[in-house]
């Protein structure tokens, strides 16, 4: 079967919810992917921030193989060593005291919101259920996380939405204070909005929000599904702001390519959950936890958080030079999470041109290009990608 045959089968058997690019990928190694015809692509998307340590890193592959031969799945009615070790590791490198494991970012965010509601109802009053989030935010595609996301155009086809969320403009502290009601229980923000267009929180804004939450007794949830695990040049993006949240959600880069999500919370918050309040059949399975432990070891051993910061600075410098001769409106982001807002509506065309020249990048809407390369990207690979991107933006 060739490319066209597979596309026909996909069209025949798969529910059509994705806008596919015309490539069928069959192999990956490091920062490179290969399609069915043998063409190679430099991957500056990493499965939307998932393959943090590169494709098929041998340490992850060997760890998963070994775990698959030993224990694949048991229910969370039993203890497993990989889950205990991963929880211990995440607590040791973060602000938190306790973890809960899920399968995805949306599921982790669902758990974070449930925990915040249970905490607020238990310790602050039965009616403290409302969560304030930001416009342009994206917290997942389940019904409740769609309601949490500040993107009305994504909600409209599925209305009515679950209640309990209010949205305010990002980086507008006055608006956030104005949205507080006697039902407010928590504020939920992405330190850098990913799917919304790579918009970072301002330093003072997030510090003010933290201080305000402390004064009022609200919880601060940070959605670090995309920004966490080294993506922004710190292990967690909250470290850029000199604050600590009460709860964070993780996923994407945590599993080194395997699906896993997590909540990390302070002990005083985590204790709101009691047995039976929350659960997951597959969450925190031995194989996914083993992959995450291997990925975290690689990130530390190969100093990939530092590499994320360093390569991100090189990319930003090159884009700044590029912007003097190409109509770029704004460059945003930190580390290896970068958004390029164009003056013209040509983002899809740029993605297509880059793909033709062997570079995978992502567009958000018609004007924004998003770069999320693996954390192990090298300087030579950055140079190669920037040449292809500049050509696509110029011609």
Element of type H or E holding 176: helix 173-178
Structure tokens at 114: 């449930």
Q: Phi-psi category of 80—alpha, beta or left, where left has phi over 0 and alpha has psi -120 to 50?
A: beta
Alpha carbon 261 to its chain centroid, in Å, reads 10
- Please enumerate in sequence order all residues whose Cβ is within 8 A of that of 223, keeping only pairs 6 or more positions apart, or say none: 105, 109, 112, 137, 139, 188, 189, 190, 248, 249
Question: Which residue numbers are catalytic?
Answer: 138, 223, 252
Give burial (CB, 10 Å; 0-12/13-18/19+) of 380: exposed
Using CA atoms, how far apart are residues 160 and 252, in angstroms rounded to an integer? 29
Report how far residue 70's alpha carbon sits from residue 30's, in angstroms, rounded to the nearest whole number: 27
Question: How far is residue 259's CA from residue 252's CA, in Å, rounded to a whole number?
Answer: 7
Task: Give the Cα separation of 322 and 352 in Å (integer).
Answer: 19
> Which of these, 224, 220, 287, lies nearest to 253 by C-alpha position?
224
Residues in contact with 312: Cβ distance below 8 Å, sequence separation at least 6, in sequence order: 232, 233, 333, 334, 335, 336, 337, 338
């Amino acid at each position: 079967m060739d490319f066209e045959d597979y596309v026909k089968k996909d069209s025949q058997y798969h529910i059509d919810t994705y806008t596919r690019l015309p490539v069928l990928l069959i192999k990956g190694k490091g920062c490179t992917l290969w399609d069915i015809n043998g063409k190679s692509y430099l991957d500056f998307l990493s499965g939307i921030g998932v393959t943090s340590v590169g494709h098929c890193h041998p340490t992850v592959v060997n760890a998963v193989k070994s775990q698959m031969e030993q224990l694949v799945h048991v229910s969370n009615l039993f203890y497993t060593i990989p889950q205990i070790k991963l929880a211990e590791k995440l607590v040791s490198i973060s602000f938190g005291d306790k973890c809960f494991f899920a399968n995805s970012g949306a599921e982790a965010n669902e758990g974070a919101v449930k925990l915040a509601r249970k905490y607020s109802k238990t310790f602050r009053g039965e009616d403290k259920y409302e969560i304030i989030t930001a416009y342009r935010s994206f917290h997942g595609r389940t019904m409740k996380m769609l309601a949490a996301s500040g993107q009305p155009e994504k909600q409209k086809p599925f209305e009515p939405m679950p209640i309990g969320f209010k949205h305010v403009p990002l980086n507008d502290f006055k608006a956030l204070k104005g949205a507080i009601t006697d039902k407010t229980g928590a504020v939920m923000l992405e330190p850098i909005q990913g799917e919304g267009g790579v918009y970072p929180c301002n330093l003072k804004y997030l510090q003010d929000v933290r201080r305000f939450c402390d004064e009022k007794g609200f919880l601060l949830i940070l959605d670090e599904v995309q920004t966490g695990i080294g993506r922004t040049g710190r292990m967690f993006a909250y470290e850029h702001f000199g604050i600590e949240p009460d709860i964070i959600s993780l996923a994407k880069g945590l599993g080194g390519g395997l699906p896993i999500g997590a909540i990390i919370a302070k002990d005083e918050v985590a204790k709101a959950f009691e047995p039976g309040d929350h659960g997951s059949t597959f969450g925190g399975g031995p194989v996914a936890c083993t992959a995450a432990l291997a990925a975290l070891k690689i990130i530390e051993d190969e100093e990939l958080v530092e590499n994320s910061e360093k390569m991100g600075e090189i990319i930003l410098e090159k884009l700044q030079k590029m912007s003097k001769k190409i109509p770029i409106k704004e460059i945003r982001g930190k580390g290896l999470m970068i958004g390029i807002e164009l003056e013209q509506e040509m983002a899809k065309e740029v993605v297509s041109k880059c793909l033709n020249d062997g570079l995978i990048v992502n567009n958000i809407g018609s004007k924004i290009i998003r770069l999320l390369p693996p954390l192990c990207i090298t300087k030579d690979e950055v140079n190669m990608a920037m040449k292809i991107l500049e050509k696509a933006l110029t011609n």
